Amino acid sequence: MRHSTVKFGELYAENSRNGIYKSKEFLGSGVLLVKMNQQFGNRFIDDHIADFERIELTDDEISRFELLENDLLFSRTSIVPEGVGMCSIVKAIDEPIAFESNIIRIRLDESKINPLYVFRYFQSYIGRGKVLSIAGGTTIKTIKGSSLKELDIHLPPLPKQQKIASILSGYDDLIENNQRRIQLLEESARLLYKEWFVNFRFPGHENTKIVDGVPEGWERKPLVEVAHLTMGQSPKSEFYNAVGDGLPFHQGVTNYGERFVSHKIYSTKITRLAESGDILCSVSAPVGRLNYTLDKIILGRGLCAISSKFENQSFLFYQLKNYFFKEDIIGSGAIYAAVTKKDMETLELLKPPVNIVRSFEGISRPFDKQIKNLSEQNQKLAQARDMLLPRLMNGEIEV
């Protein structure tokens, strides 16, 4: 059964609004600020997203630009044509969050429409196609709020909207459960690393002397002596696409996952490469965030690829995780500093004896394998959800 259509603007509770623009001098404290990179990388927006900035706002500005649960956000611009108009939805939040000028906020009349249904609609190829049809511009694609409200969207009765949203949310609940398990596994490995290599309560520590602040026989080495480093270099934006041509391209933390990056942008121009299994470390704001890549990718200027010279990639990952967790600063000493190749090469790490590292990896690698399996399950769940999505939206599957 095909659904009727209605103008999107007829479902608004109030007029759409572009986000706030304020100069950098207002950043650093105040309310949380959703920027387009967070909105683009997170379909669900809440106050638990990492790497939020804060912005100082007046009470009047907060009242105009604060986000509420079930608000929809659309990215206004993108250097990749297929990336403009990406939709996110705001979940329950515990503190004020505002949004920047490159984002459009839509607040819906929930007596007419289920916001989660609309969010799903704009995830489907049907809704995405409609948004892309109103995009203008050449080098940078842009959508306008005035054009967005004129879109015709499929509108089944409210009970059907709620059923469709509930079916699709079931997949997200399973994905979220797996993400929590991944977080617990990683935290267990991180705490074990801290116990052995920070508190120095490793197997046999009772019989080991501490010399110059480290166990006897341990060394301090610059990162370049224990790992291969590849600093990223971004190709020109004219080579970018979102349809899978070329190799996956990453230049920051936008598409980081719990452990592994997901691919959304591709490039037909190869500059620097990261290989499967490499650790990806962000070298521009925010510095020190880590992920793995399971595929060969093109490495942009905001990332550095790292691989162990001694086949102890698991140990190196937790070592770097601990370093950046503890310091959260590098280079110029600011939390959002950018770092150079020299900064990365001279980053000093402990080099314990091989037998202790191997003992640690005997525990951490099974954790890593479970994390990989859970991540692959999530990928399959997301694919199944995304295949079901358009069939529910166009009425092909009755609910």
Q: Is the pLDDT of residue 396 over 90?
A: no
Beta strands of 234-302 (E only): which ranges? 240-241, 247-250, 266-267, 272-274, 279-282, 290-292, 297-299
Q: How high is the mean pLDDT of the chain?
A: 90
Task: Note the pLDDT tens digit of each residue in 264-307.
Answer: 899 999 999 999 999 999 998 778 999 999 999 999 999 999 99
Across the strands, what pairs with 211? 214
**Cα–Cα distance measured from residue 140 to residue 163, given in angstroms and rounded to the nearest whole number:** 37
Confidence of residue 389 (pLDDT cuts 50, 70, 90): confident
pTM of the complete model beyond 0.85? no
As a whole number, mean pLDDT of residues 241-251 equals 92
Q: What is the pLDDT of residues 350-370, one digit of tens each?
A: 999 999 999 999 999 999 999
Q: Which of 15-29, 75-89, 295-309 has the lowest mean pLDDT?
A: 75-89
More confident residue, 187 or 328: 187
| Arithmetic mean of pLDDT, 158-175 | 91
CB 316 within 8 A of CB 309: no
Structure tokens at 138: 């050449």
Q: Which pLDDT score, from 0 to 100, does residue 327 have?
A: 47
Domains of the chain: 4-155 (3.90.220.20), 219-351 (3.90.220.20)
Predicted local confidence at residue 302, as pLDDT = 92
Q: What is the pLDDT of residues 316-346, one digit of tens each?
A: 999 999 998 754 444 443 444 678 999 999 9
Mean pLDDT on 23-35? 86
Q: Average pLDDT of 20-33?
A: 87
Quick one: what percent of the chain has pLDDT higher than 90?
A: 66
Cβ neighbours, 10 Å, residue 95: 7
